[in-house]
Amino acid sequence: MPKDFQQVDWNEQVEQDCRVLTRLAIHEDLAQQQDWTTVALVPSGIEGKANIVTRQAGVVAGIPALVAAIDEMQARLTLMPAVQEGDSITPNRVLATLTGSVRDLFTSERILLNLLGRLMGIATLAGQYVEAVAGTGTQVYDTRKTTPGWRRLEKYAARCGGVRNHRTGLFDAVLIKDNHLALLNSIELDSSELKSSEQNGLGGGPAAAVQRARAFLSADSGRPSGCLIEIEVDTLDQLKAVLPVSPDIVLLDNMSPKILRDAVQLRNRLAPRVQLEASGGVSLSKIRQIAETGVERISVGALTHSVRSLDIGLDWCEAG
């Protein structure tokens, strides 16, 4: 099986991100004061029950986030989930029931619903993209085009929808992009690098950049083991130049389906073990056509940068 990026499951690091975001949300809503509406209308000590309900069909993601957020808010509430992560649900489905302090219930309502709605919106859109390529053998990947501070949570939600995670950050893979290549083309390599590149017929282009990255990873024990090397190209000539040095993945940027098919044929002939990833302007209406070109991966920024939150509500049940 080809090497892949580290996948984001619910873990301590994701939970800590959730807690940091919850603290910010508390500051936004309360500003070190109180929910004056609730304090004015709800007697102290009264308990009750309410259901968290989805108004739309979707995919569940974020129940563990609710648990962490309730704990971070020190809310006297008990959460009883009625669904599991990754479940496909219909409109008006009860997702969970909250019981406990009514004051805490009303004060935390918007924070909890905002959190869950965002994560379920991502998981739902991710599921639609995965369904669109079903049967092609192509995997859909997310990107780093995430909401600042939300990256691990958003990638976790994408996973709940069936998408694979691309690199989490700059620290866990090498991805040589067009600006890296532009820089390398504008500066002089030192004599040993230039001589090595010329001897291998690589010049100073993308192949030399891959070799430079591979040599760095091999020489520096501080790098993560199994670190992937991916390079972005935007022409078939660049692809042909880089395939002989076998990067793990070549990202084919903004190529038409016809050119993608040509790229797959070229890869099959020169370096069949190299994975190909299509990226750039991928939409739900186009992704099937892209997948049918034979690429193994398609990365989709819209999963996180253009998603709409799912409509989630809190329905009052009874006072305890």
**Within 13 Å of residue 274, how many CA atoms lie on the same side as its CB?**
28
In contact, 247 and 267? CB cutoff 8 Å: no
Catalytic-labelled residue, pool 177, 223, 261, 286: 177
Catalytic-labelled residue, pool 19, 144, 145, 261: 145
235/254 Cα distance (integer angstroms) = 9
Contacts (Cβ under 8 Å, ≥6 apart) of 213: 174, 176, 229
In contact, 161 and 13? CB cutoff 8 Å: no
Residue with tokens 């992937």: 228
Active site residue 155: no
> Which of 290, 300, 301, 302 lies closest to 137, judged by CA?
290
Active site residue 261: no
310/46 Cα distance (integer angstroms) = 30
Active site residue 177: yes
Catalytic-labelled residue, pool 35, 232, 277, 296: 232
Active site residue 110: yes
Active site residue 230: no
Catalytic-labelled residue, pool 29, 47, 71, 253: 253
CA dihedral sign, ordered 283, 280, 153, 20:
negative
In contact, 172 and 224? CB cutoff 8 Å: yes
Q: Which amino acid is at 206?
A: P
Encoded tokens for 233: 């190209």
Beta-strand pair 249-253/275-279: parallel
Residue 159 CA, distance from chain mean position: 7
Catalytic-labelled residue, pool 19, 47, 87, 110: 110
Active-site amino acid positions: 110, 145, 177, 232, 253
